[in-house]
Structures are given as structure tokens and as C-alpha cells.
Amino acid sequence: MPTAPTPCPLCGRPALRSPENRSHPFCSDRCRLIDLGNWLGESYRIPGPRAGDGAEVPPRPVDGEEEGS
């Protein structure tokens, strides 16, 4: 059963599907890392402008919780 190589989602080159290619579905480890970097870069950007909202949350009052009575 012939296994046709799938195109690398990053560069479009055929990515071999073999035990040696641990970067599948990417053609190489380099493309995998680049894609990972892009993904992380975007995820860091999204919460960036909104980080200020979370910082306004007041801390919970922990004191007096058990010594109330």
C-alpha cells in the first residue's frame, strides 16, 4: 500500500510519513519548529492587550477565614 507523502503545511514540500521523520506532518524538524514558533507568537499576542483587565482583579481576603468566630 503506497503511502503518498502529504505536503508540508509550512513550505508545501512533500513530508514523508516514516518513522524516521518525527516532524510529520512537516517535512523537517526545521519547519515544525518554525510553525511552533509562529503558533506561540500568535498566542502570546492575543492576551497582550487584554492583560490589563486581569491585573485589576483584587486579591482574595484570606485572613480571618478560619478565625472568624
> Under rule CB under 5 A, which residues in 23-42 are in contact with Zn ion?
27, 31
# binding residues, Zn ion (CB under 5 A) = 5
11 binds Zn ion (CB under 5 A): yes
Contacting residue, 1, 6, 7, 8, with Zn ion by CB under 5 A: 8
Q: 16, 4 in Cβ contact below 8 A?
A: no
- Minimum distance of Zn ion from residue 25's CB (angstroms): 9
Task: Tell me the torsion sign for CA atoms 19, 22, 27, 29.
Answer: negative
- Minimum distance of Zn ion from residue 46's CB (angstroms): 25
E strand segments, 1-69: 6-7, 14-15
The three cell numbers of residue 48 are: 497582550
- Which residues bind to Zn ion, rule: CB under 5 A? 8, 10-11, 27, 31
